[in-house]
Amino acid sequence: MRQLRKGNVAKERNIPGNYQLFNDKGKLIYTGSSRKIKNRLLAALYGRADYAQVGGKDKLRNEATHYDVNYMPIKQARKKEKRSKRGCKYNQL
């Protein structure tokens, strides 16, 4: 798990994968998949794209302090995302 900071996110690769966001207590609060992980994490950090427009995402940005990334083909990442969503505070099923 890494801190959700610009310097850490800048080191990530912009390839497909699955990402998880955690609160300061280490609890998983959001999971997602993206074709470009680095761009998606920057959007989560700064409130760009769907993170700026979808209700509740501003609260997610305020609560998320750490993240983890797993690089994999997008189809595999989406399957993992669907399995992981249940119980996450900000995921919609």
For the domain that residue 29 is a member of, what is the CATH number? 3.40.1440.10
Predicted TM-score of the model (pTM): 0.85
72 occurs within a structural domain? yes
pLDDT number for residue 86: 81
90 occurs within a structural domain? no
* 70-77: Cβ within 8 A, 24+ apart: 70/17, 70/18, 70/19, 71/13, 71/15, 71/16, 71/17, 71/37, 72/16, 72/17, 72/18, 73/16, 74/16, 74/33, 74/35, 77/16, 77/17, 77/18, 77/33, 77/34
- Residue ranges making up the domain that contains 9: 2-82
64 occurs within a structural domain? yes
The tally of domains found in the chain comes to 1
Segment 28-67, tens digit of pLDDT: 999 999 999 999 998 888 876 555 455 566 677 788 899 9
88 occurs within a structural domain? no
74 occurs within a structural domain? yes
92 occurs within a structural domain? no
